[in-house]
Copies of this chain bind each other. A is one copy, B any other.
Amino acid sequence: FDRVREELGTPEVFVYNAGAFQMGGILELTPEQFDDCLRANCSGGFLGAREVLPGMVEMGRGTIILTGATASLRGGARFAALSTGKFALRALSQSMAREFGPQGVHVAHVVVDGQIDTPRVRGMSPDREESTMLSPGSIAETYWQLHSQDPSAWTLEMDLRPAVESF
């Protein structure tokens, strides 16, 4: 963050998309795995927001977008290490939006529901139809539109998924 501020100036946008996940049942996860996932999925958003908020508050503008997933709204079996942190990140978003919205900082939480069309995902399932994945460019467009929203009508929560996704 120091280098970003030095080289690029005070950030106007902060997108938090870090994620860590160890699939496993409650008796299979170690306490370290559980806490590490919780910290990566939630505390990291808190730490990052603390870095950019002072500058945003001073400017009276800025956008913080926190990326959620299906696990933000549903605690599936063997997904505890993901959904605990993702639920928590949504709580953080709501709390930050209520605290900093009136100070000019737009906080939004986006549930990305589906696979993103990345080289890694393509590598794992090369025959998968393109239309069943979210394109990074389409997600970026919506994030850009969130940043461009007028303070008269800000979005706190929204979801994104492919048209063909069954949910």
Counting every copy of the chain, the complex holds: 4
Residues 122-146 of A contacting B (Cβ, < 8 Å) = 131, 133-135, 137-139, 141-142, 145
Note all chain B residues with C-beta closer than 8 A to A74. Answer: 94
Beyond A98-B167, A131-B152, A152-B134, whether A46 also contacts B26 by CB under 8 A is: yes
Question: Considering the chains assembled together, what is the distance between the CA atoms of A38 and B92 in angstroms?
Answer: 11
Inter-subunit contact A26/B49 (CB<8 Å)? yes
Q: Is A104 an interface residue (CB 8 A)?
A: yes
Inter-subunit contact A153/B142 (CB<8 Å)? yes
State which size class the interface on A falls in: 35 or more
Inter-subunit contact A159/B161 (CB<8 Å)? no
Note all chain B residues with C-beta closer than 8 A to A49. Answer: 26
Q: Is A12 an interface residue (CB 8 A)?
A: no
Q: Give residues in A with beta carbon < 8 Å to B.
A: 25-27, 29, 31, 34-35, 38-39, 42-43, 46-47, 49-50, 53-54, 71, 74-80, 83-96, 98-102, 104, 106, 112, 117, 131, 133-135, 137-139, 141-142, 145, 149-167
